[in-house]
Amino acid sequence: MIKKYSFSAAETVALGENFSSNLNAGDVVVLEGALGGGKTTFIKGILQGLKSKCRVLSPTFTLVRHYTNNKLHIYHIDLYRVNDEEIFDFGIEDFLYVKNGITLIEWGEKIENCLSTYLKVVFSIFGEEKREIKFSSKSYKDREIKI
């Protein structure tokens, strides 16, 4: 596990941008942490790092946002408003392990028991601006996360 700290939204975006270099087609990223923890801000950085020109918006009310970077489909899913019984009702399995895509799941802890492999990013709030961000993975024995 890797642990980093962010003291501003700009630093959280920069960490997301750096983290994007770890991502490959077919990857699933689980993001968890309290409301306001920086998950969507971090995803903005991931999209910058992947050279996407798309504007990142929270998918809280739409469940899924679709972005591209001319090579990959990037699916940004938010499970905050979805209860455990509804998770598979909207077809989330269609967005998992996509050959030409990356899937980023906010509140992904709701589904991580159903995932065989994933990268995990956990956000903890320590004051107005300070965030602790932990990086880990499940079943990626040959990949080291670099930030």
pLDDT in tens, 73-83: 999 999 988 77
Whether the model clears a pTM of 0.75, i.e. scores above it, the answer is yes
What amino acid occupies position 16?
G
**Which domains can be identified in the chain, with CATH numbers?**
2-138 (3.40.50.300)
d(CA 117, CA 140): 7
pLDDT at residue number 65: 87
Using DSSP's 3-state secondary structure scheme, residue 59 falls into coil
Contact 68, 74 (CB under 8 A): yes
Contacts of 1 (CB under 8 A, 6+ apart): 134, 135, 136
How far lies 38's CA from each of 1, 9, 32, 43, 110, in Å?
19, 7, 10, 9, 18
- H or E element at residue 129: none
pLDDT in tens, 106-131: 998 988 888 999 999 999 999 888 99
Instruction: Work out the pLDDT band at 140, boundaries 50, 70, 90.
Output: confident
Buried b (16+ CB within 10 A) or exposed e, 119-130: bbbbbbeeeeee
